[in-house]
Amino acid sequence: MQRIVVLAGGIGGARFLRGLKSAAPDADVTVIGNTGDDIHLFGLKVCPDLDTVMYTLGGGIHEGQGWGRSGETFTVKEELAAYGVGPEWFGLGDRDFATHIVRTRMLGAGYPLSAVTEALCDRWKPGVRLLPMTDDRVETHVAVDTPEGERRAVHFQEYWVRLRASVDAHAIVPVGADQATPAPGVLEAIAEADVVLFPPSNPVVSIGTILAVPGIREALAEAGVPVVGLSPLVGGAPVRGMADKVLAAIGVEATAAAVARHYGSGLLDGWLVDTVDEAAVAEVEAAGIRCRAVPLLMKDTEATARMAAEALTLAAEVAA
């Protein structure tokens, strides 16, 4: 059985995984999920990226939106707002609240996040092994300038959701990452993998954060396993979201080729760019990374499955 490890953020990662499962139904898939987006709200621990993967693969996602639960209502949020209790900018629905209550209760009882995630997945049966990158607390912060001209660090969610990345990010810091250790199973999964894939997830605040946990990047290099990524940038812009803003913060151009060079040939063996970025293939290959141009828009599961199949083909090629 083919063992595939995927480093995933939220929406891009989750949608890709749905295609991967369709393209390789018999594969044993382990997902290492980003937890740098995690936030405490109303005393509850919220893990947006883990939940997006779990709900998407488990059939509970709000399809149009890409995050949160389908058939959601917002009574609790409205009642909190009536008490003047926020933040109002973060959309937590009633169904979603239940997930965070269960998670927070288990964490309070002493279970690590990896065990809690496994318990939540008992209900959703995502068909993959979903592991948080770490059981330790990591929180991505973004340095921005306030309207008063003062530099201030805000939580990633505040930057992304409240500010809609409308102001420049001066630095992206995964606070706590340097002290974190990979969650149980993470390094083992990498060591035993036949293929490692980077889905079209955010290279800075999703995959970059996972790689910031000491040991993970090293394990990828040591495993000697083919690592193949798919570009989240098409035609010089993110397909969705504001990845260009966080790439600018780390001095990387928002192009498929620049992101491949940012990961580098020490990490990445293969890279897929969209057909509109065909011209980037030579540049990526010159950087020592095998590259192909194929359609990279996840329009539906079939199109996404073809992307996943292309990634697996490229992985087999670089492994040969």
Binder among 4, 6, 9, 100 for ligand GDP (CB under 6 A):
9
- Select from 268, 202, 282 the least CA-distant residue to 239: 202
Binder among 5, 6, 12, 24 for ligand GDP (CB under 6 A):
12
Q: What is the Cα–Cα distance from 139 to 126, expressed in whole angstroms?
A: 25
Which one of the spans 42-50, 106-114, 240-248, 272-280 is the region binding Ca ion (CB under 5 A)? 42-50
**Nearest distance, CB of residue 75 and ligand GDP, angstroms:** 25
208 binding ligand GDP? (CB under 6 A): no
What Cα–Cα distance (Å) separates residue 248 from each residue in 159, 167, 170, 180, 311? 14, 12, 8, 26, 27
Binder among 37, 194, 277, 283 for Ca ion (CB under 5 A):
37
**Nearest distance, CB of residue 252 and ligand GDP, angstroms:** 12
| 234 contact, one of Ca ion, ligand GDP, none, CB 5-8 Å limit per kind | ligand GDP
- With a CB cutoff of 8 Å and minimum separation 6, the contacts of 158 are 89, 142
Are 114 and 107 in contact by the 8 Å Cβ rule? The answer is no
11 binding ligand GDP? (CB under 6 A): yes
Total binding residues for ligand GDP by CB under 6 A?
24
| 241 contact, one of ligand GDP, Ca ion, none, CB 5-8 Å limit per kind | ligand GDP
- Select from 231, 243, 279, 287 the least CA-distant residue to 261: 287
Total binding residues for Ca ion by CB under 5 A?
4
Binder among 114, 202, 209, 255 for ligand GDP (CB under 6 A):
202
Which one of the spans 68-76, 163-171, 227-235, 282-290 is the region binding ligand GDP (CB under 6 A)? 227-235
Binder among 49, 139, 277, 310 for ligand GDP (CB under 6 A):
49
Greatest alpha-carbon pair distance for the chain in Å reads 62
What residues between 4 and 33 interact with Ca ion by CB under 5 A?
A: 9-10
Which one of the spans 146-154, 262-270, 276-284, 291-299 is the region binding ligand GDP (CB under 6 A)? 291-299
- Select from 189, 178, 148 the least CA-distant residue to 33: 189
19 binding ligand GDP? (CB under 6 A): no
Strand order in the sheet with 171-175: 151-155, 139-145, 171-175
Q: What is the Cα–Cα distance from 188 to 214, expressed in whole angstroms?
A: 14
**Number of other CB atoms surrounding residue 108 within 10 Å:** 10
- With a CB cutoff of 8 Å and minimum separation 6, the contacts of 75 are 94
Helix (H, G, I), strand (E, B) or coil at 41: strand
139 binding Ca ion? (CB under 5 A): no
Cβ proximity to ligand GDP: between 182 and 200 the closer is 200
Kindly give the pairing relationship between strand 227-230 and strand 171-175: unpaired
Helix (H, G, I), strand (E, B) or coil at 5: strand
| 30 contact, one of ligand GDP, Ca ion, none, CB 5-8 Å limit per kind | none
Cα-only R_g, the chain: 19
Which one of the spans 18-26, 122-130, 161-169, 294-302 is the region binding ligand GDP (CB under 6 A)? 294-302
239 binding ligand GDP? (CB under 6 A): yes
Which one of the spans 25-33, 196-204, 212-220, 260-268 is the region binding ligand GDP (CB under 6 A)? 196-204
**Number of other CB atoms surrounding residue 76 within 10 Å:** 15
Task: Give contact residues for Ca ion (rule: CB under 5 A).
Answer: 9-10, 37, 49
Task: Give contact residues for ligand GDP (rule: CB under 6 A).
Answer: 8-13, 49, 52, 200-202, 206, 230-232, 234, 238-241, 243, 296-298
